[in-house]
Amino acid sequence: MLEEEDEQWILEFNEDERKYGKFYKEPTTFVSLQMIYVNSKKEIERITQVRQQLDKENLLLASTLNKLISERNYVSQSHFRLYKLLLYNISVEPEEVINNSTKNIHEIKDIHEIKDIIFEDTINYLKTVNTLFFIFVEESTMVLKQHHQPNSTTFSLNRASRRHKRYL
């Protein structure tokens, strides 16, 4: 009789655990990528979305990020360049969801450099909302002129300002 009660308690516990398991925080293993392409008329030409597996748990390497940018900068035979990179990573605590106090849930970070991106652990149920936004602008809207040095990697963004470093 005691064994049946122990088994019943374990079965009930496992059933409850299965119901609420999706509300535990876990490492992030993938992220949604949203590519937004803005043409020379400053109109959104295309939006694409793909799911990207992270290089390691909670980590997207800079090399992977560079590869993604270079692979996705042509659309309809037009060349685009990365204008802005934004990160939306839900880092709300399970208690905040239960208490309905999710004031910190809507935070978008502006990424200024191409470097490794570290994601925070996310509630399993909300993992699909983690998104990295790439905003590309058509290359014809930006005048890029390489300097006279043959092996130089610095560019002027426009002729008027003659800035030598390119930041996102």
Q: What is the mean pLDDT of residues 24-32?
A: 91
Rounded Cα distance, 131 and 66, in Å: 17
pLDDT digits (tens, 9 = 90+) for 80-135: 999 999 999 887 777 676 666 656 566 789 999 999 999 999 888 888 899 999 99
pTM for the structure as a whole: 0.70
Q: What is the mean pLDDT of residues 50-67?
A: 95
Q: What was the pLDDT predicted at 151?
A: 45
Q: Which fold has domain 24-142?
A: Ubiquitin-like (UB roll) (3.10.20)
Residue 142 carries which side chain, given as an amino acid letter? Answer: M
Q: What is the mean pLDDT of residues 20-31?
A: 84
Name the residue with tokens 């509300």: 23
Residue ranges of the domains in the chain?
Answer: 24-142
- β-bridge partners, 50: 33
